[in-house]
Structure 1
Amino acid sequence: MRNLQTGKKVLAGLAGGALLAAGLQFAAPAAFGDDAVERTISGTLADSTPFRFTVPAGWNGTVFVDLDGSGNPSAVARALIDGGAAYGGTSRNVTGWNIAQALDNQVEALERLGAEIGEPTRAIAMGASQGGFVAAGVAQRHPDAIDGVVAMCGGLSGTVSQWNQKLDTVFVLKQLLDREGELPVIGVQDVTASTNGWRSLLAAAQQTPEGKARIALASAIGQLPAFAQGAALPDPADLDAYQAGWYGALSGGGLPYIGQAMSSRRNIEIFTGGNPSWNVGIDYARQLEKASPEAQAAVAALYAEAGLSLEAELALVNATERIAADPAAVARFAEGLQFNGDISVPVVTLDNLGDQISTIAQQAEYARLVGEAGNGDLLRQAFVPSAGHCGFTDAERVAAAQLLLHRLDTGSWGDRDTVEALNAHAESLDLGVARFVEYTPDRFNRSPLDQDLEGIPVTAEVTDESGALTLTVA
């Protein structure tokens, strides 16, 4: 594990760490594994966040720390525990959208565990959804505290970036479907009423050709997946299925995009003390041009079927008064954080193509930043063709963790990062199906570091050795 006091790497590497057939067992170093029974280490951090770790008998010196690790071990955690690693972490219930504090808590939890059982040989930040964001964030904010990351469905474009894109989606819907109405884009007061209102409006729009075209336009600009939970991945040539996929991602299922755009927006604005999102200077015709060719073609075809002018409606949206950000809110939100590609430990990301919350193009932004920082060999990204937020099987999650362990054991990805190897390994675990596929996400269209975007009232620069990103609002 990386030493927090000196910042130097403590000599790690698990003695004789040969993988068994399932890839879960490691030979334990002599300094570890003295306990004959499994133990639970738990307590409360300085900010009142609970933490808990399960430490197996014969602990091998590896520990996984997870934003959502304070409860009973999941099937994924149990598989890793049974393989000799400790697994646990904290809860998001105290920190909420205070991502900066959640990042610090991962380190504090590791320190508390180390005080009880001795410093691990290596620590891995792992998590899903906001937990995946936090896991990747630890690699940038606290690189000396961990040795690797497994970040699943984390929306890794950054706090400010992803919520600017969510603003775009709802803003376009507002101008085209509720221009004179009272449904909110920002400043959400009643989450339930706002969500229900938007879903009712979208359901009505979905009944008309005009409404379907407008839903498609907003979805394409927001880079939503045209892939609804419970439906098959649609062929872009099947226009009706493709548009229905967009509608399903936007407003269907138990966790629709529009619902999260209301509920999390409310919580974020409470935390930051204002609105951290803006669209001043954004040209929505250009944003549509940055969508995939398939998405652009579908939008154009749907507008033609509806007898609407796409150019006129984009002009209408562009002519609308824009939303400005609260500078203090932007600064506080960015602390939690904007990614800059500065990683010094191996990172594995796992994402599903039809994730309506952590949209897949955000992973392209993370890969772009990592690559431009010269750290591309430290990153491997895996994808599965499923819909719904964090739509993975346990086998796929464990296989992603085992890919990282292989990299830490050997110092190389070897041939373990191929789709064929990932599927073969996942299938051997008896934890569900394996569906890894080759995939290249579309470029994310709303980065504050993207010089192609004009008029953004924010400049960004790395200002210290920690890689912290400072956003300055003009």
Structure 2
Amino acid sequence: MVLQKSLTYTLLLTSSLLFTACGSDSNDDSDTTVEESSVRAQDARSYAVDPATLPFDSSEDTTTDTWHGVMDNGAGYRVEVPENWNGILVMWTHGYRGTGEELTVSNPSIREWLIENNYAWAASSYSKNYYDVEAGVEDTNELALKFTTIAEDNGRTLTAPVKTFIVGQSMGGHVAAAAVEQETLSSARNQVLYDGALPMCGVVGGTHEFDYLLDFTFAAQHVAGLGPDSFPADFDQPAIDAVLWDTVPSFTEQGVPTADGLKLEAIARNLSGGDRPVFEAGFRGGYYNVVMGTGGRDGTVNGILEKDLTGNTDTVYQLDNDPSQSAEENTFNNTILRVEGDPTANAPRSEGLRYIPEINGQFTVPVLTIHGLGDLYVPFVHEQIYRRRAIANGSADLLVQRAIRAPGHCDFTADEQITAFSDLANWVINDDKPDGDNVLDAAQVADEAYGCEYSDPARSAFMDACSSLN
């Protein structure tokens, strides 16, 4: 649900806009204005965890200590330590939990493998829901700092971890990436020096995600000839779908686009990372509806911010891979509604992290990512933004990225995740840097076999082009 508020957006309709390709793909940390505390919608919301949901049992045929509880900040937690702990702690960061009042904890997606290999893990519910990455970072860090105290309170004496990793998916990937950023290390209230990070399907382009959602939904409306003429956009998705789809996408049936729908598909391909395998299946799948619903929110990110963040003044909407603008593209770009976000909306704060922590590509520990090529919700372009920022800030040698031939969001097999984590751990512990994919070479990304190297051969679809490599 979108909170109603008076918008501070500048609405721009002009026939002579100067476009810069990938304008929102830059390191947007140039604003050093410190935003003083103000009252946000998020500050007035109440959340609680049901203690009855926290207990959990050891996996079958394992011997572990399983602990749970509620921290002073209201966040619930779970901790599991094997009998023969190897001294390494893995902090698990969960994804977006929606807008409800109940806080919930989830176990790591690779829990069984971690325990079998004698890793301990801990996971927080966070103290707040909505897209509150600040809470995710602070609460995860606080739990990591309390790990040995929790063990002692439960009758087991543990030494401090010799290594600590942070691993998460989607919004949790944003948390994991932010946790190792230099800005976080200098401004977080709870500071943890992680030894490595594994963001999976992560929002590693940071606030670009919200520009992308705006760009996509604006483009859908404009292609359909139904707006937008305001923001938050007042649009009728069934009416848009009637223009764009012969068969509307769902999670059970691939969509069949009309000629206009193919135009949106071309625009979305360029907005989300360029020509690449599996994109078409992702665009024509059920996440189309998720993107349309999420992209209709206002620029305060559902009250996480007080001011409007997102804009599209620098976005170039393209119908093909040619960067030069055709007459049709010029008309499209010159007639679509342009909105400008407030550059102070997510400014640094004097009392802690930004409300949406930045991902600037400034880190000094190994980071390994995996990302689905067809992901329409948190698209592959995040990996390209992350790489460019790491290059600009001298961190590129510490970043390994892998493309997975998956059409959905966080659509990974257990083997893909386990391989990624074990390779990251080996890198950190033995200084053995693993290989990854080139995410910036357009020709490589567009190759029909791109993403084969690190995709699970057992995948049942989208692996035909990989047969010659196996």
| Number of aligned residues | 358
Out of 373, 376, 397, which is 1:356 matched to? Answer: 376
Shift of the 212–86 alpha-carbon distance from structure 1 to 2, 3 Å rule, reads: same
In the alignment, the residues of structure 1 paired with residue 407 and residue 274 of structure 2 have an alpha-carbon distance, to the nearest angstrom, of 8
Matched, 1:387 2:407: yes
In the alignment, the residues of structure 2 paired with residue 224 and residue 355 of structure 1 have an alpha-carbon distance, to the nearest angstrom, of 10
Aligned twin of 2:306: 273
Aligned twin of 2:140: 106
- Structure with bigger RCO (C-alpha 8 Å, 6+ apart): 2
In the alignment, the residues of structure 2 paired with residue 205 and residue 393 of structure 1 have an alpha-carbon distance, to the nearest angstrom, of 29
* Structure-to-structure mapping, 1:246-265, within 5 angstroms: 246=280, 249-250=282-283, 252-253=285-286, 256-262=289-295
Is this contact kept in 1: 2:375–2:407, CA < 8 A?
A: yes
Is this contact kept in 2: 1:62–1:123, CA < 8 A?
A: yes
Matched, 1:85 2:119: yes
Aligned twin of 2:130: 96
SS of residue matched to 1:42: strand
Unaligned runs of 5+ in 2: 1-61, 96-103, 152-157, 186-190, 249-255, 438-450
In the alignment, the residues of structure 2 paired with residue 432 and residue 63 of structure 1 have an alpha-carbon distance, to the nearest angstrom, of 33
Out of 91, 107, 119, which is 1:65 matched to? Answer: 91
Residue 363 of structure 1 and its aligned partner are, at CA, apart by: 0.4
Aligned twin of 1:154: 202
Out of 422, 425, 429, which is 1:402 matched to? Answer: 422
Q: Could you give the per-residue CA deviations for residues 396-445 of structure 1, whole angstroms, max 9, x where no partner exists?
A: 001100011101221231xx4368xx9999979x999998x99xxxxxxx
Q: Could you give the per-residue CA deviations for residues 251-304 of structure 1, whole angstroms, max 9, x where no partner exists?
A: 632564533534765881322234311123x262xx53xx9xxx526x99xxxx
In the alignment, the residues of structure 2 paired with residue 434 and residue 59 of structure 1 have an alpha-carbon distance, to the nearest angstrom, of 39
Root-mean-square deviation (CA), in Å?
4.0
SS of residue matched to 1:212: helix
Matched, 1:138 2:194: no
Aligned twin of 2:218: 171
* Structure-to-structure mapping, 1:34-433, within 5 angstroms: 37-68=63-94, 71=105, 73-74=107-108, 76-91=110-125, 94-117=128-151, 118=158, 119-140=160-181, 141-142=184-185, 144-159=192-207, 161-180=208-227, 186-187=231-232, 198-203=240-245, 210-223=259-272, 233=277, 246=280, 249-250=282-283, 252-253=285-286, 256-262=289-295, 268-280=301-313, 282=314, 284=316, 287-288=317-318, 295-296=320-321, 311-331=327-347, 335-413=355-433, 416-417=434-435
Residue 212 of structure 1 and its aligned partner are, at CA, apart by: 3.1
SS of residue matched to 1:397: helix
In the alignment, the residues of structure 1 paired with residue 115 and residue 453 of structure 2 have an alpha-carbon distance, to the nearest angstrom, of 21
Paired AA for residue 393 in structure 2: A
SS of residue matched to 1:126: strand
TM-score, normalised to structure 2's length? Answer: 0.65
TM-score, normalised to structure 1's length? Answer: 0.65
In the alignment, the residues of structure 1 paired with residue 257 and residue 366 of structure 2 have an alpha-carbon distance, to the nearest angstrom, of 49
Paired AA for residue 109 in structure 1: L
Unaligned runs of 5+ in 1: 1-35, 228-232, 235-244, 301-308, 439-474
Paired AA for residue 279 in structure 1: N
Which structure has greater helix proportion?
1
Residue 312 of structure 1 and its aligned partner are, at CA, apart by: 3.3
In the alignment, the residues of structure 2 paired with residue 96 and residue 337 of structure 1 have an alpha-carbon distance, to the nearest angstrom, of 14
In the alignment, the residues of structure 1 paired with residue 87 and residue 196 of structure 2 have an alpha-carbon distance, to the nearest angstrom, of 14
Is this contact kept in 2: 1:158–1:337, CA < 8 A?
A: yes
In the alignment, the residues of structure 1 paired with residue 326 and residue 294 of structure 2 have an alpha-carbon distance, to the nearest angstrom, of 25
Residue 226 of structure 1 and its aligned partner are, at CA, apart by: 7.0
Shift of the 376–217 alpha-carbon distance from structure 1 to 2, 3 Å rule, reads: closer
In the alignment, the residues of structure 2 paired with residue 166 and residue 341 of structure 1 have an alpha-carbon distance, to the nearest angstrom, of 22
Paired AA for residue 94 in structure 1: K
Q: Could you give the per-residue CA deviations for residues 119-171 of structure 1, whole angstroms, max 9, x where no partner exists?
A: 21111100111111111110111374311101101031112x22112222222
